[in-house]
Amino acid sequence: MPPGEGEARVRVHAVGVCGTDYSGYLGKMAFFSYPRIPGHELGVEVVSVGADVTNVKPGDRCSVEPYINCQRCYSCRRGHTNCCENHQTLGVHCDGGLRPFFVVPARKLHVSRKLASEQLALIETLAIGCHAVNRAAPKPGENVLVLGAGPIGLSVIEFARISGARVIVLDLNKQRLAFVREKLKVPDTIVSGASALEQLRDITSGQLADVVIDATGHHESMSRCFEFATFAARVVYVGITVKELVFPHAPIMHRRELTLMASRNALSTDFPRIIGLIEEGRIDTKPWLTHRAEFAEVPAVFPTWLKPETGVIKAVVHVRAE
């Protein structure tokens, strides 16, 4: 299909696989509709562009911002394009990029002259964490507690560190916490359990966390995370659950005057910022990319990536379109 006005036809080189894809595969993602071509973490090459397109040209290597917004609704007009009222995410609400070629709005392409295709496919994951940290606005020296050390939690860690805050990570999975300490060089980790609050008190000299960012997507964690927050702290939900959340208001939420925020997707401006941070060496992508597969191998290997014992942090499919 040739590109129309404002569009670009792209060749797909690399597709990152994330929790949304796993949930969609298992039939557990609330926002999925079927049948659906997945793939929203994408490293692509521009093949051709519409006559009016000026921001990209054939041959450009790009990361794709997969949040297709209408540009007309009240949210879009106020700059909140990440939560467009008519929002469509590639690979979730509409067909994504796990295919050799497709057409995308050219304004959703972000060029890099230096990054490899699989690095470009990682930008969207990092953008989720970038936006969540921007919502929390941590200050240098503040304590930021990240709940959940999956890929979204890891992306939060990257940007919390860049803010100058002290990062503390809590998770059930000791293997993930070891990765955080050894690969991301974050020394303060807590194994989830009955003593987690006391461990946090010890690490923070009794202060608790100025910012709590819950990246678990688990309703019990999201209901209980307020206990880790200090007075006048900010709590951000970046994980998603369809279950009800229940938490005490007067003794914790009100008494501590906490601020609760959600974080959805990312903004267009996050993508070039992240590309620049990787190009400058401030974010190292090497530890992230743990598993790779060719397109033809996906039916066989995809189910194995669901198993925690495989140690998947980020799997990438190389489409290698001709």
Query: pLDDT tens for residues 147-174?
Result: 999 999 999 999 999 999 999 999 999 9
- pLDDT of the residue at 97: 95
* Structural domain count, the chain: 2
Same domain, residue pair 112 and 133: no
Same domain, residue pair 191 and 237: yes
Average pLDDT over residues 122-141: 98
- Scored b (16 or more CB within 10 A) or e, 24-54 reads bbeeebeebeeebebbbbbbbbbbbbbeebe
Same domain, residue pair 142 and 252: yes
Band (321; pLDDT cuts 50, 70, 90): low
Same domain, residue pair 72 and 28: yes
In a domain, 242, yes or no: yes
In a domain, 58, yes or no: yes
Average pLDDT over residues 195-200: 97
Same domain, residue pair 104 and 16: yes
In a domain, 173, yes or no: yes
- pLDDT of the residue at 29: 75
Same domain, residue pair 172 and 152: yes
In a domain, 113, yes or no: yes
Query: Which is it for strands 209-214 and 143-147: parallel, antiparallel or unpaired?
Result: parallel
Same domain, residue pair 35 and 66: yes
Report CA-CA distances (Å) from 270 to 56, 128, 232, 274, 277: 18, 9, 27, 6, 11
The token pair that represents 304 in the structure block:
């194995």
- Cβ atoms of 145 and 228 within 8 Å: the answer is yes
- pLDDT of the residue at 291: 95
The token pair that represents 281 in the structure block:
């060496």
Same domain, residue pair 152 and 77: no
Average pLDDT over residues 128-139: 98
Q: Using CA atoms, how far apart are residues 199 and 145, in angstroms rounded to an integer?
A: 12
Average pLDDT over residues 29-34: 79
- Residue 322 reports pLDDT greater than 50: no
Backbone region of residue 274 per phi and psi (left: phi > 0; alpha: psi in -120 to 50; beta: other values): alpha
Give the domain extent around 194: 128-262
Domain at 192, CATH number: 3.40.50.720
Query: pLDDT tens for residues 64-107?
Result: 999 999 999 999 999 999 999 999 999 999 999 999 999 999 99
- Residue 237 reports pLDDT greater than 90: yes
- Cβ atoms of 152 and 125 within 8 Å: the answer is yes
Strands (E) located in the chain: 7-17, 41-49, 61-64, 67-68, 88-89, 101-105, 109-111, 143-147, 166-171, 189-191, 209-214, 229-237, 259-262, 289-294, 314-318
- Report yes or no on whether pTM surpasses 0.75: yes
Same domain, residue pair 221 and 134: yes
Band (26; pLDDT cuts 50, 70, 90): confident
Domain at 33, CATH number: 3.90.180.10
The three-state secondary structure class of 131 is helix
Average pLDDT over residues 275-293: 96
- Cβ atoms of 19 and 151 within 8 Å: the answer is yes
- pLDDT of the residue at 1: 77
Same domain, residue pair 12 and 31: yes
Place of tokens 């997707």: 265
Q: Give the chain's mean pLDDT.
A: 95
